[in-house]
Amino acid sequence: MSRKVTDKAVGNQPARHSHIVIVGSGFSGLGLAIRLSKQGRTDYLVLERGKDVGGTWRDNTYPGAACDVPSQLYSYSFALNPDWSRSFSKQPEIQRYIQGVADKYNVRDKHIFDCDMTGATWNTETSQWEIQTSQGPFTADILVSAVGALCEPNLPDIKGINDFQGEIFHSARWNHDSDLTGKRVAVIGTGASAIQIVPNIAAKVAHLDVYQRTAPWLLPRMDRPYLAPEKLAFKYIPGVQAVSRAAIYAARETQVVGLAKFPPAMRIFETIARAKLFAEVRDPELRRKVTPNFRIGCKRMLISNDYYPALSRDNVDVVTDGIQEIKPGSIVTKDGTEREIDAIIVATGFHVTDSPVYDTVSGRDGRTLAEVFDAVGQQGYKGAAIRNYPNMFFMLGPNVGLGHTSMVYMIESQINYIADAIDQFDKLNLRTVEVRQDAQDAFNAELQRKLQGAVWSTGGCASWYLDKHGNNTTLWPDFTFRFRSLLEKFDVSAYQTVSA
């Protein structure tokens, strides 16, 4: 079962070799590491560019950072957390949970922290991956990319942004040494991060300008602290937490009907959102500005109870005119208005369909992931494999994302598939496995067929769900339990294999 981690040479540089190398240690990479350890494997390494496990929950520490998925769903099924303090957890609590799981399953010693992968190339002669990192070279028989979608901040291409002389930082790289008290602040963006940041800084700043390109749909955040009897029941009565988790999961899955099967059903959610908007935004002009012009669900649905009240404060303005340029101490919009500011918070999301990581991975024919995706769009097989990349598996690959429930469920589905693939790799004594082109094409044709009738394609909006070809390469267009069923076992028949 286990192969010893050894030292090997690549050219004139010593390279550390491991049977399996996992890149990234958020929920995906950590979960797979735990599974491999449970299977008795010691022949793997996890390369993590950060100083700790946690991924996006380690990096996103901005004021108000919290999850928009209920706490009971936002954990591994094999490590339920009876100690959640509330129904929707905040970032520090989620990060502590992830750290606790890493400690419980004793996998930290398989990690190399502060190790940034700068390149990975498939060597056809050795049938191995050659991996370049900030801590030197590695080689691997099997490479697993567990690099999350929300890890590379997307900085806006705005004229003069580099000339700004005040404080400026991305929401995912929050500067905790910065004191915004009494300052004139601009927040660029109105996505999931911005709607949490704005209410948490509005009262302390002198003035806040919120630059909005597209108004989001907001639903109520059904958040509350757990009562002591609930916590005791979760902890000491067998099955209570599992039943609660199952009930929340089932309720969330009903949204798939409107999102992917019958978009008119989303009118129920739109009615709720409109009622919330009317009740919380009394000023007609502000209400006009923050009313979305697309069908709910077309872009990510957000939840908040304090965003609209924050926008209604006297010291907050919503700016809907596009930004023309940024000057050393101000922002100029396309209507010619210049607003003086002391600090800019960039909350413009992440590189999802154009991640810089894609430029660093070169496959069998020498092309990078970026080059392959540029030619045909992001296409993969079950979100776990991509043609031209032998012996490489992906966590959260193309079309694995969700807009309604927990990504941890999808991650665990992929862990099942990849762990079984690694087992089959060894049991069948395989040298290489690579998904067949016809299998990948058939899988993607079916995906796009299902997506044609989904709200993301018919709701009248543009979003980060779409790639440059106009295809939705981000979301899974069906019930998540069907994804789990598809990935229950590794289907070696869909792959070209070469025996060792």
Mind listing the pLDDT tens digit for each residue in 46-87? 999 999 999 999 999 999 999 999 999 999 999 999 999 999
Fill in the amino acid letter for 282: R
CATH of domain 161-223+236-346: 3.50.50.60
Shortest CA distance to 473 belongs to which of 352, 372, 367? 352
Domains in the chain: boundaries = 6-151+352-499, 161-223+236-346
The two tokens of residue 204 are 């302390």
- Residue 225, number of CB atoms within 10 A of its CB: 11
DSSP annotation of 134 reads T
Q: Is the dihedral of CA 219, 225, 228, 234 positive or negative?
A: positive
> Quick one: what percent of the chain has pLDDT higher than 90?
87
pLDDT above 90 (res 465): no
Whether the CB-CB separation of 138 and 10 falls below 8 Å is answered with no
Q: What is the largest CA-CA distance in the chain?
A: 70
pLDDT of residue 400: 95
Angle in degrees, CA 429, 144, 59, rounded to 5: 160
pLDDT above 80 (res 91): yes
**Phi, psi angle pair for 199, to nearest 5°:** -65, -25
Higher pLDDT, 186 or 350: 186
Mind listing the pLDDT tens digit for each residue in 95-151? 999 999 999 999 999 999 999 999 999 999 999 999 999 999 999 999 999 998 766
The two tokens of residue 479 are 């019930």
Shortest CA distance to 439 belongs to which of 492, 481, 393, 392? 492
**Phi, psi angle pair for 381, to nearest 5°:** -125, 110
Q: State pTM to two decimals.
A: 0.94
Shortest CA distance to 121 belongs to which of 310, 365, 414? 365
CATH for 6-151+352-499 (3.50.50.60, 1.20.1050.10, 3.90.580.10, 3.40.50.300):
3.50.50.60
The two domains 6-151+352-499 and 161-223+236-346 share their CATH topology (first three levels equal): yes
The answer for residues whose C-beta is within 8 angstroms of residue 28's C-beta and 6 or more apart is 55, 146, 148, 395, 396, 411, 414, 415
Query: 274: exposed, middle or buried (C-beta count within 10 Å: 0-12, 13-18, 19+)?
Result: middle
